């Protein structure tokens, strides 16, 4: 017996912080010692691979738990070997010793990770199929700096943390081991012994790409290397696209409830099933992108995915990671971009995940005034810790790298920006202010990295405050987002449209006020899932009016007004055809409503106005150009009529948009226009084609010289009740 009793005890009891120093092959005084600690091993032989048929040595079992040792006397060099084990059930197998391999992480890796500046951290931490010295297996690496011991456990060792204890790599806080013979599909967790507790506990791998369904939630070794992408044309197009000047109409989707399979128990569609259906539908509706509500792994369906436990993993609910890739690929081949909701603002307290990961407040702040969100009952990330910010930035980059997504819609940015967000008890920053300086720096670094590494990628902020510079480039002191959800516009327009039309004249400013700040940020107009849940009613139910037909007409008019207002667009699924009830995460949309002309008419309006926006680059190219927008009359509160112009960059082509938001048909309504000629009526939401009554202007109007609304030309229009009209004209070249 070469090993000491104390060392043997530490290995047996899984209290060894450096198992590689004791297990495996080592030179010692007078020869070489080889030790192995093996699960369910009755006997063990050491096989010298230089002559495996002859050089076999029986190892001595020093403990019935499976601890074997052999001393080879004399001057010897270390040599390659395998272990031949006979199990108690009679099974015999040979394998390479996990403790015979060098670390899979270099000192440079550890330096970058510690600095928080490793953009490929997901290729180093987590589990990875590797071939080392010709040996196939899986490397495991996890950050747990205060742990006394970390082991990889799984079916391969009967979930016994005494075996496959990991080594700690210096002062990095990272634990690592390479286990030969393990393949893709292996379920595993980390068993951790904390610094201040003798009871080990299990945690998932924060960097895992795949997870088992609850309640077990095991991490799964995943191999996506064999997937062959077919979206090179799309990626080439994306890299050259200037989305500031291109049409962006986003269809927000909850994958599990977009459509179900009735003949199969109303189960949701899988990634591969929804892809062709969604691609076809988006093209029909002229949407340019799909935005999926969070598809990162999450345990509780009722959170809709916003309480994430697997920041690098597509949820198991709809298929495998490779099926997720296929979904993205199919959408790309059909010219549809893919945006994911991403949640770096907080994480749930589930004991199996990030909370108290190594027995300490590792990912969260220790002080609950910074580390907890009382409103949501979740924990907040410690953005000032470099390893934590690197973990989150790596998550963002991994979705672009591994899964070819085109953008991230960053959830709850306001809760990240402010230390006093939903808190009465909070700690000011070092300057005495309420801004979360670490979170601000994290957002800047992440946005910068995404845009530098993935040309044409979109970063969209859900940010509800007046924080300045959300969409200003990082180089100019901004946060670096591409677009910001215009939640003020959303609330103002809905507050207006919920009013009975007879009262709207008293709320006229709700519709005009957004123009005061419209060009202070690069805004995206949005009616999201948040507006059609929790008793808020579906979009059609929000509309004021005494009758169902009036509500439908209101909705048609609102959507046409929305798509012609400057800014990019996002609309939640079901809203485009006037879903009749609130959205339910566990139920399909009411597709059967499309058999009724009123609902089909709303859908047609969305498709047609989105088609106008998509088809004429002069609209999208001037979404953020204040010179491309002019009010014609913003002051007609008495009639509840709004009118404005959208110009191209040269002032040659123009759209005139007129909204009449009362049930009164207005004949001979006088409106000023910038020039004469023909103004074609290219969309009228009161058209019979859309389920309206068919009032209109016979396809075109012809302004004549007169001074109206401060302009040289004027026209008398027929404004149908509850309608939006869109006219288009080109100025004659002088």
pLDDT digits (tens, 9 = 90+) for 128-166: 999 999 999 999 999 999 999 999 999 999 999 999 999
Residue 302, preceding peptide bond in cis (omega within 30° of 0) = no
Question: Are 276 and 402 part of one and the same domain?
Answer: yes
Question: What's the pLDDT at 523?
Answer: 98
Q: Which of 576, 600, 618 is the last residue of a domain?
A: 618
Helix, strand and coil content of the chain, in percent to the nearest 5, comes to: 30, 30, 45
DSSP string, 528-542: -GGGGSTTS--HHHH
Q: What CATH number did the domain enclosing 80 receive?
A: 2.60.40.10
Residue 37 included in any domain: yes
Does the pLDDT at position 1 exceed 80? no
Structure letter (DSSP) for residue 581: S
Provide the pLDDT confidence category of residue 286 given band limits of 50, 70 and 90: very high
Would you say residue 694 lies in a domain?
yes
Express each pLDDT in 52-88 by its tens digit: 999 999 999 999 999 999 999 988 899 999 999 999 9
Q: Is 170 a domain residue?
A: yes
* Separation of alpha carbons 447 and 165, rounded Å: 38
**Do 134 and 267 belong together in one domain?**
no
State residue 733's pLDDT score: 44
pTM exceeding the 0.75 threshold for the entire prediction: yes
**pLDDT at residue 731 tops 90:** no
Does 613 share its domain with 670? no
For the chain, give the percent of residues with pLDDT over 90.
Answer: 94
34 shares its domain with 115? no
Cα–chain center distance at 214: 21
Q: What CATH code is carried by the domain that includes residue 708?
A: 2.60.40.1180
Helix (H, G, I), strand (E, B) or coil at 467: coil
Q: How many domains does the chain have?
A: 4
Q: Is residue 232 part of a domain?
A: no
Within-domain flag for 234: no
The average pLDDT across 389-417 equals 98
Mark whether 449 and 340 lie in a shared domain: yes
Whether residues 25 and 131 fall in one domain:
no
CB 86 within 8 A of CB 92: yes
pLDDT of 732 reads 59
Strand partners, 725: 658, 684
Tokens standing for 368? 């609950």
What 3-state DSSP class applies to 415?
Answer: helix
Answer yes or no: do 115 and 34 share one domain: no
Task: Looking at the structure, tell me whether residues 463 and 436 fall in a common domain.
Answer: yes
User: How far apart (Å, rounded) are the C-alpha atoms in residues 122 and 143?
Assistant: 12
Domain membership flag for residue 185: yes
Q: What is the pLDDT of residues 161-199, one digit of tens each?
A: 999 999 999 999 999 999 999 999 999 999 999 999 889
The token duo for 323 is 């099926």
What sign for the dihedral angle of Cα 217, 258, 328, 117? negative
**Sorting pLDDT into bands at 50, 70 and 90, what band is 650?**
confident
Looking at every residue in the chain, the average pLDDT score rounds to 96
Q: What is the pLDDT of residues 223-267, one digit of tens each?
A: 999 999 999 999 999 999 999 999 999 999 999 999 999 999 899
CA angle, residues 455, 453, 240, in degrees to nearest 5? 15
Q: What is the pLDDT of residues 578-622, one digit of tens each?
A: 999 999 999 999 999 999 999 999 999 999 999 999 999 999 999
Domain co-membership, 565 together with 609: yes
- List beta partners, residue 201: 192
The whole-number pLDDT of residue 508 equals: 98
Q: In which domain, by residue range, is 436 found?
A: 241-618
**pLDDT per position as a tens digit, 8-27:** 999 999 998 889 999 999 99
Q: Reduced to 3 states, what is the DSSP secondary structure of residue 91?
A: coil
Rounded-to-integer distance, Cα 335 and Cα 320, Å:
23
Residue by residue, DSSP assigns 174-229 as EEEEEEET--TT-EEEEEEE-TT-SS-EEE--TT-S-BPPTTT--EE----TT---
Give domain status of residue 402, yes or no.
Answer: yes
Judged against a pLDDT cut of 80, whether residue 715 lies above it is answered with yes
Q: Are residues 175 and 152 in the same domain?
A: yes
Answer yes or no: do 386 and 286 share one domain: yes
What gap in Å lies between CA 484 and CA 523, rounded to an integer?
A: 5
User: Which of 410, 496, 418, 506 lies closest to 450 in space, CA to CA?
Assistant: 410
Last residue of a domain, one of 220, 253, 286: 220
Quick one: pLDDT at residue 734?
39
Q: What confidence tens digit (pLDDT) does each residue in 440-451 have?
A: 999 999 999 999
DSSP states along 290-340: EEESP-EE-S-GGGTT-S-SEEEEE-GGG--HHHHHHHHHHHHHTT-EEEE
- Name the domain boundary from 96, 116, 149: 96
Residue 653 in this model has a pLDDT that exceeds 70? yes
Closest CA to 469 of 503, 502, 435: 435
How much is the pLDDT for 623? Answer: 97
Are residues 282 and 362 both part of a single domain? yes
CATH number assigned to the domain comprising residue 557: 3.20.20.80
Residues annotated as part of the active site:
411, 462
Q: Once rounded to an integer, what is the mean pLDDT over residues 613-636?
A: 96
The confidence score (pLDDT) of residue 546 equals 80
**pLDDT higher at 730 or 142:** 142
User: Is 231 among the domain residues?
Assistant: no
């Amino acid at each position: 017996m070469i090993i000491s009793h104390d060392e043997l005890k530490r290995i047996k009891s899984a209290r060894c912080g450096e198992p590689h120093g004791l297990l495996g092959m080592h030179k010692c005084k007078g020869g070489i010692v080889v030790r192995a600690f093996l699960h369910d091993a009755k006997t063990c032989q050491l096989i010298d691979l230089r002559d495996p048929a002859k050089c076999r040595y029986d190892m001595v079992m020093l403990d019935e738990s499976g601890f074997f040792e052999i001393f080879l006397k004399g001057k010897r060099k270390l040599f390659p070997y395998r272990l031949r084990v006979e199990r108690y059930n009679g099974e015999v197998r040979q394998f390479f010793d996990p403790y015979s391999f060098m670390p899979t992480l270099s000192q440079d890796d550890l330096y970058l990770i510690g600095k928080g500046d490793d953009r490929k951290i997901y290729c180093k931490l987590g589990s990875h199929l590797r071939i080392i010295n010709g040996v196939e297996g899986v490397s495991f690496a996890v950050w747990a700096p205060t742990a006394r011991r970390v082991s990889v456990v799984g079916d391969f060792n009967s979930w016994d943390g005494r075996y496959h204890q990991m080594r700690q790599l210096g002062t990095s806080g990272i634990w690592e081991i390479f286990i030969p013979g393990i393949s893709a599909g292996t379920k595993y967790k980390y068993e951790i012994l904390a610094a201040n507790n003798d009871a080990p506990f299990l945690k998932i791998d924060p960097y895992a790409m795949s997870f088992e369904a609850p309640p077990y939630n095991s991490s799964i070794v995943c191999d996506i290397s064999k997937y062959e992408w077919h979206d090179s044309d799309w990626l080439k197009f994306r890299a050259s696209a200037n989305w500031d000047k291109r049409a962006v109409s986003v269809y927000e989707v909850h994958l599990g409830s977009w459509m179900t399979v009735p003949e199969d128990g109303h189960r949701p569609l899988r990634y591969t099933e929804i892809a062709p259906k969604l691609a076809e539908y988006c093209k029909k509706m002229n949407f340019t992108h799909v935005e999926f509500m969070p598809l990162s792994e999450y345990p509780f369906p009722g959170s809709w995915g916003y309480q994430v436990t697997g920041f690098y993993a597509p949820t198991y609910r709809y298929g495998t990671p490779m099926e997720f890739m296929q979904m993205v690929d199919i959408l790309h081949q059909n010219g549809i971009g893919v945006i994911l909701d991403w949640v770096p603002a907080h994480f749930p307290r589930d004991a199996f995940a990030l909370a108290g990961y190594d027995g300490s407040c590792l990912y969260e702040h220790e002080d609950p005034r910074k580390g907890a969100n009382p409103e949501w009952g979740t924990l907040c990330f410690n953005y000032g810790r470099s390893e934590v910010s690197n973990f989150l930035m790596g998550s963002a980059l991994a979705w672009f790298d591994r899964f070819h997504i085109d953008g991230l819609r960053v959830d709850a940015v306001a809760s990240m920006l402010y230390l006093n967000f939903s808190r009465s008890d909070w700690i000011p920053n070092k300057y005495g202010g309420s801004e979360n300086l670490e979170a601000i720096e994290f957002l800047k670094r992440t946005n910068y990295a995404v845009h530098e590494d993935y040309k044409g990628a979109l970063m969209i902020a859900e940010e509800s405050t007046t924080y300045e510079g959300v969409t200003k480039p990082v180089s100019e002191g901004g946060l670096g987002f591409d677009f910001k959800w215009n939640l003020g516009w959303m609330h103002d327009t809905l507050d207006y449209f919920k009013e009975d039309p007879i009262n709207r004249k008293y709320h006229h400013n709700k519709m005009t006020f957004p123009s005061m700040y419209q060009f202070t940020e690069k805004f995206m107009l949005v009616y999201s899932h948040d507006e059609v849940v929790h008793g808020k009613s579906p979009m059609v139910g929000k509309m004021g009016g005494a009758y169902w037909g009036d509500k439908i007409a209101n909705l048609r008019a609102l959507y046409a007004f929305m798509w012609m207002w400057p800014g990019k667009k996002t609309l939640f699924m079901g809203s485009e055809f006037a879903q009749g009830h609130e959205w339910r995460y566990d139920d399909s949309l009411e597709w059967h409503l499309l058999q009724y002309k009123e609902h089909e008419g709303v859908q047609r309006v969305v498709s047609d106005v989105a088609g106008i926006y998509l088809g004429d680059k002069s609209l999208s190219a001037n979404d953020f150009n204040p010179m491309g927008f002019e009010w014609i009359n913003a002051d007609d509160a008495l009639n509840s009529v709004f009118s404005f112009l959208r110009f191209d960059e040269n002032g040659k082509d123009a759209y005139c948009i007129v909204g009449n938001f009362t049930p009164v048909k207005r004949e001979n309504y006088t409106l000023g226009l910038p020039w004469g000629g023909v103004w074609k009526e290219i969309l009228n939401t009161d058209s019979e084609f859309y389920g309206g009554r068919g009032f209109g202007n016979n396809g075109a109007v012809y302004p004549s010289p007169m001074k109206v609304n401060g302009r040289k030309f004027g026209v008398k229009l027929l404004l149908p009740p509850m309608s939006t009209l869109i006219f288009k004209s080109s100025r004659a070249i002088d």
